[in-house]
Structure 1
Amino acid sequence: MRINLPTWLTLFRVALLPVMVLVFYWPFRGHNLTAAVVFALAALTDWLDGYLARRLNMASKFGAFLDPVADKLMVAVTLFMLVETHRGGWPGIVMAVTSAIIVGREISISALREWMAEIGMRATVRVAFLGKLKTVMQIVALIVLILQHEKDAEALRLYHIGEGLLVIAGVLTIWSGLYYLRAAWPALHDDPLLPVEQDKNP
Protein backbone atom coordinates (compact mmCIF):
# COMPACT_ATOMS: atom_id res chain seq x y z
CA MET A 1 0.00 0.00 0.00
CA ARG A 2 1.42 3.36 -1.08
CA ILE A 3 0.72 6.34 1.14
CA ASN A 4 0.02 9.46 -0.91
CA LEU A 5 0.34 13.13 0.07
CA PRO A 6 -3.22 13.63 1.40
CA THR A 7 -2.85 10.55 3.61
CA TRP A 8 0.53 11.77 4.88
CA LEU A 9 -1.18 15.01 5.88
CA THR A 10 -3.84 13.04 7.74
CA LEU A 11 -1.14 11.04 9.55
CA PHE A 12 0.60 14.32 10.36
CA ARG A 13 -2.67 15.55 11.91
CA VAL A 14 -2.77 12.51 14.17
CA ALA A 15 0.89 13.01 15.11
CA LEU A 16 0.17 16.62 16.13
CA LEU A 17 -2.29 15.54 18.83
CA PRO A 18 0.26 14.39 21.46
CA VAL A 19 2.32 17.49 20.66
CA MET A 20 -0.70 19.70 21.37
CA VAL A 21 -1.42 17.91 24.65
CA LEU A 22 2.23 18.19 25.72
CA VAL A 23 2.54 21.92 25.08
CA PHE A 24 -0.89 22.61 26.60
CA TYR A 25 0.13 21.09 29.95
CA TRP A 26 3.79 22.16 29.83
CA PRO A 27 3.93 25.28 32.05
CA PHE A 28 6.03 27.56 29.86
CA ARG A 29 5.13 31.10 28.89
CA GLY A 30 2.73 31.12 25.94
CA HIS A 31 1.96 27.40 26.15
CA ASN A 32 -1.76 27.97 25.47
CA LEU A 33 -0.96 30.04 22.39
CA THR A 34 1.41 27.33 21.16
CA ALA A 35 -1.21 24.63 21.76
CA ALA A 36 -3.81 26.70 19.89
CA VAL A 37 -1.42 27.11 16.94
CA VAL A 38 -0.76 23.36 16.87
CA PHE A 39 -4.51 22.67 16.96
CA ALA A 40 -5.16 25.23 14.20
CA LEU A 41 -2.42 23.61 12.09
CA ALA A 42 -4.06 20.21 12.58
CA ALA A 43 -7.43 21.69 11.59
CA LEU A 44 -5.84 23.20 8.48
CA THR A 45 -4.57 19.79 7.37
CA ASP A 46 -8.16 18.52 7.72
CA TRP A 47 -9.20 20.87 4.92
CA LEU A 48 -5.97 20.54 2.93
CA ASP A 49 -5.87 16.73 2.70
CA GLY A 50 -9.43 16.60 1.37
CA TYR A 51 -8.75 19.40 -1.09
CA LEU A 52 -5.60 17.72 -2.44
CA ALA A 53 -7.28 14.33 -2.66
CA ARG A 54 -10.00 15.82 -4.87
CA ARG A 55 -7.79 18.22 -6.81
CA LEU A 56 -5.04 15.72 -7.59
CA ASN A 57 -7.37 12.72 -7.84
CA MET A 58 -5.46 11.00 -5.05
CA ALA A 59 -8.34 9.64 -2.99
CA SER A 60 -7.63 6.23 -1.46
CA LYS A 61 -9.53 3.72 0.65
CA PHE A 62 -7.01 4.04 3.49
CA GLY A 63 -7.25 7.83 3.38
CA ALA A 64 -11.04 7.70 3.36
CA PHE A 65 -10.92 5.51 6.46
CA LEU A 66 -8.23 7.50 8.29
CA ASP A 67 -9.50 11.03 7.67
CA PRO A 68 -12.71 10.85 9.78
CA VAL A 69 -10.82 8.93 12.47
CA ALA A 70 -8.22 11.70 12.67
CA ASP A 71 -10.96 14.35 12.79
CA LYS A 72 -12.77 12.68 15.67
CA LEU A 73 -9.55 12.07 17.57
CA MET A 74 -8.61 15.72 17.19
CA VAL A 75 -11.93 16.95 18.60
CA ALA A 76 -12.30 14.29 21.31
CA VAL A 77 -8.76 14.64 22.68
CA THR A 78 -9.11 18.43 22.84
CA LEU A 79 -12.50 18.24 24.56
CA PHE A 80 -11.23 15.76 27.16
CA MET A 81 -8.25 18.02 27.80
CA LEU A 82 -10.44 21.08 28.29
CA VAL A 83 -12.94 19.24 30.50
CA GLU A 84 -10.10 18.07 32.74
CA THR A 85 -8.79 21.62 33.18
CA HIS A 86 -12.20 23.25 33.81
CA ARG A 87 -13.71 21.12 36.55
CA GLY A 88 -16.19 22.53 39.05
CA GLY A 89 -18.92 25.14 38.86
CA TRP A 90 -21.24 25.94 35.98
CA PRO A 91 -18.43 26.43 33.43
CA GLY A 92 -17.19 22.92 34.15
CA ILE A 93 -20.71 21.47 33.97
CA VAL A 94 -21.44 23.21 30.66
CA MET A 95 -18.11 22.04 29.24
CA ALA A 96 -18.65 18.45 30.37
CA VAL A 97 -22.25 18.20 29.11
CA THR A 98 -21.47 19.82 25.75
CA SER A 99 -18.41 17.62 25.29
CA ALA A 100 -20.42 14.50 26.10
CA ILE A 101 -23.03 15.50 23.51
CA ILE A 102 -20.41 16.12 20.84
CA VAL A 103 -18.43 12.93 21.47
CA GLY A 104 -21.60 10.86 21.84
CA ARG A 105 -22.92 12.16 18.54
CA GLU A 106 -19.65 11.37 16.75
CA ILE A 107 -19.67 7.79 18.05
CA SER A 108 -23.34 7.31 17.14
CA ILE A 109 -23.06 8.72 13.62
CA SER A 110 -19.88 6.75 12.97
CA ALA A 111 -21.70 3.56 13.95
CA LEU A 112 -24.64 4.58 11.75
CA ARG A 113 -22.40 5.19 8.75
CA GLU A 114 -20.63 1.88 9.26
CA TRP A 115 -23.95 0.02 9.37
CA MET A 116 -25.26 1.86 6.32
CA ALA A 117 -22.07 0.99 4.46
CA GLU A 118 -22.60 -2.69 5.27
CA ILE A 119 -26.00 -2.62 3.56
CA GLY A 120 -24.68 -0.60 0.61
CA MET A 121 -26.38 2.69 1.51
CA ARG A 122 -23.47 4.77 2.81
CA ALA A 123 -24.30 7.61 0.40
CA THR A 124 -27.55 8.12 2.32
CA VAL A 125 -25.61 9.49 5.30
CA ARG A 126 -22.85 11.34 3.45
CA VAL A 127 -21.51 14.55 4.98
CA ALA A 128 -23.95 17.45 4.57
CA PHE A 129 -23.45 21.22 4.79
CA LEU A 130 -24.87 21.20 8.31
CA GLY A 131 -22.20 18.72 9.39
CA LYS A 132 -19.47 20.90 7.87
CA LEU A 133 -20.85 23.97 9.64
CA LYS A 134 -20.85 22.05 12.92
CA THR A 135 -17.20 21.10 12.38
CA VAL A 136 -16.15 24.69 11.65
CA MET A 137 -17.96 25.95 14.75
CA GLN A 138 -16.29 23.28 16.88
CA ILE A 139 -12.84 24.18 15.58
CA VAL A 140 -13.31 27.92 16.20
CA ALA A 141 -14.72 27.28 19.70
CA LEU A 142 -11.88 24.92 20.63
CA ILE A 143 -9.19 27.33 19.42
CA VAL A 144 -10.71 30.11 21.55
CA LEU A 145 -10.96 27.83 24.60
CA ILE A 146 -7.38 26.61 24.23
CA LEU A 147 -6.21 30.22 24.05
CA GLN A 148 -8.13 31.43 27.10
CA HIS A 149 -6.49 32.39 30.37
CA GLU A 150 -8.46 33.05 33.53
CA LYS A 151 -5.92 35.37 35.14
CA ASP A 152 -7.60 38.63 34.13
CA ALA A 153 -11.02 39.92 33.11
CA GLU A 154 -10.14 40.19 29.41
CA ALA A 155 -9.10 36.55 29.22
CA LEU A 156 -12.17 35.45 31.17
CA ARG A 157 -14.39 37.19 28.61
CA LEU A 158 -12.54 35.32 25.88
CA TYR A 159 -13.26 32.07 27.70
CA HIS A 160 -16.99 32.85 27.88
CA ILE A 161 -17.01 33.60 24.14
CA GLY A 162 -15.42 30.21 23.48
CA GLU A 163 -17.85 28.56 25.86
CA GLY A 164 -20.79 30.12 24.03
CA LEU A 165 -19.42 29.03 20.65
CA LEU A 166 -19.01 25.49 21.96
CA VAL A 167 -22.63 25.43 23.13
CA ILE A 168 -23.71 26.57 19.65
CA ALA A 169 -21.53 23.80 18.21
CA GLY A 170 -23.28 21.37 20.55
CA VAL A 171 -26.69 22.47 19.27
CA LEU A 172 -25.50 22.07 15.67
CA THR A 173 -24.15 18.66 16.65
CA ILE A 174 -27.60 17.51 17.79
CA TRP A 175 -29.25 19.08 14.73
CA SER A 176 -26.88 17.46 12.25
CA GLY A 177 -27.14 14.14 14.08
CA LEU A 178 -30.92 14.23 13.72
CA TYR A 179 -30.48 15.09 10.04
CA TYR A 180 -28.36 11.98 9.46
CA LEU A 181 -30.75 9.85 11.50
CA ARG A 182 -33.69 11.11 9.47
CA ALA A 183 -31.85 10.32 6.22
CA ALA A 184 -31.11 6.79 7.40
CA TRP A 185 -34.48 6.17 9.08
CA PRO A 186 -36.16 4.42 6.11
CA ALA A 187 -33.39 1.81 6.08
CA LEU A 188 -33.45 1.50 9.87
CA HIS A 189 -37.25 1.26 10.02
CA ASP A 190 -37.65 -1.26 7.20
CA ASP A 191 -34.72 -3.50 8.16
CA PRO A 192 -36.09 -6.93 9.19
CA LEU A 193 -35.14 -8.27 12.55
CA LEU A 194 -32.25 -10.70 12.45
CA PRO A 195 -32.83 -14.11 14.03
CA VAL A 196 -31.54 -14.31 17.56
CA GLU A 197 -29.05 -17.09 18.06
CA GLN A 198 -30.23 -19.45 20.78
CA ASP A 199 -27.87 -20.15 23.66
CA LYS A 200 -26.93 -23.80 23.52
CA ASN A 201 -26.06 -23.82 27.22
CA PRO A 202 -29.00 -22.21 29.06
Structure 2
Amino acid sequence: MRRFLLGLLLLASLGLIWDALPFYATADSMFEAAPESATAADPNLATATFAGGCFWCMEGPFDELEGVRSTTSGYTGGTKVNPTYYEVSAGGTGHVEAVQVVYDSTKVSYETLLEAFWKNVDPVDDSGQFCDKGSQYEARIFVHDDQQQALAEQSKQVLSAEPKFQATPIVTAIEPAPTFYPAEDYHQDYYLKHPLRYKYYRTGCGRDRRLAEVWGSGG
Protein backbone atom coordinates (compact mmCIF):
# COMPACT_ATOMS: atom_id res chain seq x y z
CA MET A 1 0.00 0.00 0.00
CA ARG A 2 2.88 2.36 0.68
CA ARG A 3 3.97 2.02 -2.96
CA PHE A 4 0.46 2.97 -4.00
CA LEU A 5 0.67 6.14 -1.91
CA LEU A 6 4.02 6.99 -3.48
CA GLY A 7 2.38 6.53 -6.88
CA LEU A 8 -0.35 8.96 -5.92
CA LEU A 9 2.29 11.46 -4.83
CA LEU A 10 3.87 11.22 -8.28
CA LEU A 11 0.52 11.69 -9.99
CA ALA A 12 -0.28 14.61 -7.75
CA SER A 13 3.05 16.23 -8.62
CA LEU A 14 2.08 15.98 -12.28
CA GLY A 15 -1.24 17.65 -11.60
CA LEU A 16 -3.23 14.54 -12.58
CA ILE A 17 -4.85 13.90 -9.19
CA TRP A 18 -5.37 17.07 -7.23
CA ASP A 19 -7.08 15.51 -4.25
CA ALA A 20 -5.40 12.11 -4.12
CA LEU A 21 -3.75 12.58 -0.76
CA PRO A 22 -6.51 13.32 1.75
CA PHE A 23 -4.98 14.88 4.84
CA TYR A 24 -1.77 12.82 4.85
CA ALA A 25 -0.10 15.70 6.65
CA THR A 26 -1.86 14.50 9.79
CA ALA A 27 -0.24 11.08 9.74
CA ASP A 28 1.96 11.80 12.75
CA SER A 29 -0.95 12.54 15.08
CA MET A 30 -1.32 10.19 18.01
CA PHE A 31 -4.35 8.07 18.81
CA GLU A 32 -5.51 6.43 22.00
CA ALA A 33 -6.08 2.69 21.96
CA ALA A 34 -9.69 1.54 21.63
CA PRO A 35 -10.93 0.58 25.12
CA GLU A 36 -11.69 -3.09 25.59
CA SER A 37 -14.88 -2.07 27.45
CA ALA A 38 -16.41 -0.48 24.34
CA THR A 39 -18.94 -3.33 24.02
CA ALA A 40 -19.68 -3.65 27.75
CA ALA A 41 -22.90 -1.61 27.57
CA ASP A 42 -24.58 -4.23 25.35
CA PRO A 43 -24.00 -7.87 26.34
CA ASN A 44 -24.86 -9.01 22.81
CA LEU A 45 -22.01 -7.03 21.27
CA ALA A 46 -18.64 -8.69 20.81
CA THR A 47 -15.31 -7.74 19.26
CA ALA A 48 -13.26 -9.59 16.66
CA THR A 49 -9.91 -8.56 15.21
CA PHE A 50 -8.43 -9.68 11.90
CA ALA A 51 -5.36 -8.76 9.86
CA GLY A 52 -5.49 -9.37 6.13
CA GLY A 53 -2.97 -7.08 4.51
CA CYS A 54 -4.09 -3.59 3.58
CA PHE A 55 -6.86 -2.65 6.00
CA TRP A 56 -8.64 -0.64 3.30
CA CYS A 57 -9.60 -3.98 1.73
CA MET A 58 -10.75 -5.70 4.91
CA GLU A 59 -13.52 -3.40 6.12
CA GLY A 60 -15.97 -4.04 3.28
CA PRO A 61 -16.27 -7.83 3.62
CA PHE A 62 -17.35 -7.41 7.24
CA ASP A 63 -19.44 -4.26 6.78
CA GLU A 64 -21.72 -6.11 4.37
CA LEU A 65 -22.62 -8.77 6.95
CA GLU A 66 -25.90 -8.27 8.77
CA GLY A 67 -25.19 -7.90 12.46
CA VAL A 68 -21.87 -6.13 12.11
CA ARG A 69 -22.12 -2.78 13.89
CA SER A 70 -18.77 -1.25 12.95
CA THR A 71 -15.34 -1.87 11.50
CA THR A 72 -12.27 0.13 12.43
CA SER A 73 -8.93 0.06 10.64
CA GLY A 74 -5.92 0.11 12.91
CA TYR A 75 -2.68 -1.40 14.12
CA THR A 76 -2.06 -4.24 16.56
CA GLY A 77 0.35 -6.99 17.49
CA GLY A 78 3.42 -4.88 18.17
CA THR A 79 5.10 -3.03 21.01
CA LYS A 80 5.03 0.56 19.74
CA VAL A 81 2.46 2.63 21.66
CA ASN A 82 0.19 4.82 19.51
CA PRO A 83 1.91 3.98 16.22
CA THR A 84 1.39 6.05 13.09
CA TYR A 85 0.76 4.74 9.59
CA TYR A 86 4.24 5.67 8.44
CA GLU A 87 5.86 3.90 11.38
CA VAL A 88 3.89 0.71 10.81
CA SER A 89 4.27 0.69 7.03
CA ALA A 90 8.03 1.16 7.35
CA GLY A 91 8.25 -2.01 9.45
CA GLY A 92 10.01 -2.54 12.75
CA THR A 93 7.09 -1.81 15.10
CA GLY A 94 5.83 -5.39 15.21
CA HIS A 95 2.35 -4.15 14.36
CA VAL A 96 0.21 -5.33 11.46
CA GLU A 97 -2.54 -3.47 9.67
CA ALA A 98 -5.80 -4.89 11.01
CA VAL A 99 -9.52 -4.31 11.34
CA GLN A 100 -11.50 -4.49 14.55
CA VAL A 101 -15.08 -5.67 14.09
CA VAL A 102 -17.87 -4.96 16.59
CA TYR A 103 -20.79 -7.30 15.95
CA ASP A 104 -24.09 -8.40 17.42
CA SER A 105 -23.53 -12.03 18.35
CA THR A 106 -27.27 -12.73 18.19
CA LYS A 107 -27.35 -11.77 14.51
CA VAL A 108 -24.00 -12.90 13.13
CA SER A 109 -21.75 -15.65 14.45
CA TYR A 110 -18.01 -15.60 14.91
CA GLU A 111 -17.88 -18.54 12.52
CA THR A 112 -19.41 -16.31 9.81
CA LEU A 113 -16.80 -13.66 10.50
CA LEU A 114 -14.08 -16.29 10.18
CA GLU A 115 -15.46 -17.41 6.83
CA ALA A 116 -15.43 -13.82 5.57
CA PHE A 117 -11.86 -13.44 6.79
CA TRP A 118 -10.50 -16.57 5.13
CA LYS A 119 -12.14 -15.81 1.78
CA ASN A 120 -10.46 -12.39 1.70
CA VAL A 121 -6.87 -13.39 2.42
CA ASP A 122 -4.17 -15.53 0.87
CA PRO A 123 -3.54 -17.91 3.78
CA VAL A 124 -0.41 -19.47 2.30
CA ASP A 125 1.52 -16.22 1.84
CA ASP A 126 4.20 -15.94 4.53
CA SER A 127 5.69 -12.72 3.17
CA GLY A 128 2.71 -10.36 3.49
CA GLN A 129 -0.46 -10.16 1.43
CA PHE A 130 -0.71 -9.69 -2.33
CA CYS A 131 1.49 -6.77 -3.48
CA ASP A 132 2.16 -5.59 0.08
CA LYS A 133 5.15 -7.41 1.52
CA GLY A 134 6.57 -7.39 5.02
CA SER A 135 5.45 -8.63 8.41
CA GLN A 136 3.25 -5.54 8.82
CA TYR A 137 0.95 -6.98 6.13
CA GLU A 138 0.74 -10.58 7.34
CA ALA A 139 -2.65 -12.25 7.70
CA ARG A 140 -3.46 -13.06 11.33
CA ILE A 141 -6.44 -13.81 13.53
CA PHE A 142 -6.39 -12.10 16.92
CA VAL A 143 -8.70 -13.85 19.38
CA HIS A 144 -10.37 -12.16 22.35
CA ASP A 145 -11.39 -15.20 24.40
CA ASP A 146 -11.16 -18.97 24.63
CA GLN A 147 -14.24 -19.50 22.48
CA GLN A 148 -12.83 -17.43 19.63
CA GLN A 149 -9.54 -19.30 20.00
CA ALA A 150 -11.25 -22.68 19.69
CA LEU A 151 -13.38 -21.64 16.73
CA ALA A 152 -10.45 -20.04 14.92
CA GLU A 153 -8.26 -23.12 15.42
CA GLN A 154 -11.09 -25.37 14.25
CA SER A 155 -11.69 -23.35 11.10
CA LYS A 156 -7.97 -23.39 10.29
CA GLN A 157 -7.83 -27.16 10.77
CA VAL A 158 -10.80 -27.72 8.49
CA LEU A 159 -9.28 -25.60 5.73
CA SER A 160 -5.85 -27.14 6.19
CA ALA A 161 -7.35 -30.54 5.44
CA GLU A 162 -8.46 -29.43 1.97
CA PRO A 163 -6.35 -30.91 -0.87
CA LYS A 164 -5.33 -27.49 -2.22
CA PHE A 165 -3.56 -26.68 1.03
CA GLN A 166 -1.59 -29.92 1.30
CA ALA A 167 1.38 -28.91 -0.83
CA THR A 168 1.37 -25.31 0.39
CA PRO A 169 0.15 -25.21 4.00
CA ILE A 170 -1.78 -22.39 5.62
CA VAL A 171 0.58 -20.09 7.54
CA THR A 172 -1.96 -17.68 9.07
CA ALA A 173 -1.21 -17.24 12.77
CA ILE A 174 -3.83 -17.24 15.53
CA GLU A 175 -2.80 -15.06 18.47
CA PRO A 176 -4.30 -13.47 21.59
CA ALA A 177 -5.61 -9.99 20.82
CA PRO A 178 -3.31 -7.29 22.23
CA THR A 179 -4.02 -3.56 22.36
CA PHE A 180 -5.61 -2.24 19.18
CA TYR A 181 -4.74 1.28 18.01
CA PRO A 182 -7.22 2.90 15.56
CA ALA A 183 -5.58 4.21 12.41
CA GLU A 184 -5.71 7.82 11.30
CA ASP A 185 -9.11 9.17 10.27
CA TYR A 186 -8.31 9.25 6.55
CA HIS A 187 -7.91 5.47 6.54
CA GLN A 188 -11.36 4.78 8.02
CA ASP A 189 -13.99 3.69 5.44
CA TYR A 190 -11.49 4.46 2.68
CA TYR A 191 -13.25 2.15 0.25
CA LEU A 192 -16.44 4.18 0.67
CA LYS A 193 -14.93 7.65 0.76
CA HIS A 194 -12.60 7.19 -2.20
CA PRO A 195 -14.02 4.37 -4.36
CA LEU A 196 -12.04 5.14 -7.51
CA ARG A 197 -8.70 5.36 -5.74
CA TYR A 198 -9.58 2.25 -3.76
CA LYS A 199 -10.39 0.33 -6.95
CA TYR A 200 -7.15 1.54 -8.54
CA TYR A 201 -5.15 0.25 -5.58
CA ARG A 202 -7.02 -3.05 -5.23
CA THR A 203 -6.75 -3.87 -8.94
CA GLY A 204 -3.12 -2.83 -9.16
CA CYS A 205 -2.28 -4.96 -6.14
CA GLY A 206 -3.71 -8.06 -7.82
CA ARG A 207 -5.85 -8.87 -4.80
CA ASP A 208 -8.95 -10.16 -6.60
CA ARG A 209 -6.87 -12.10 -9.11
CA ARG A 210 -5.04 -13.95 -6.37
CA LEU A 211 -8.20 -14.52 -4.30
CA ALA A 212 -9.80 -16.15 -7.34
CA GLU A 213 -6.75 -18.41 -7.69
CA VAL A 214 -6.94 -19.50 -4.05
CA TRP A 215 -10.70 -19.69 -3.48
CA GLY A 216 -12.21 -19.80 -6.97
CA SER A 217 -14.06 -17.10 -8.84
CA GLY A 218 -17.09 -17.50 -6.57
CA GLY A 219 -15.05 -16.60 -3.47
TM-score over 0.5 (shorter chain): no
Q: Which of the two has greater helix per residue? A: 1
Structure 2 length as normaliser, TM-score?
A: 0.27
Specify which structure has the bigger relative contact order, considering alpha-carbon pairs within 8 angstroms and separated by 6 or more residues. 2
Structure 1 length as normaliser, TM-score?
A: 0.28
Q: Looking at CA atoms only, which structure, 1 or 2, has the larger radius of gyration?
A: 1
Q: Which of the two has greater strand per residue? A: 2
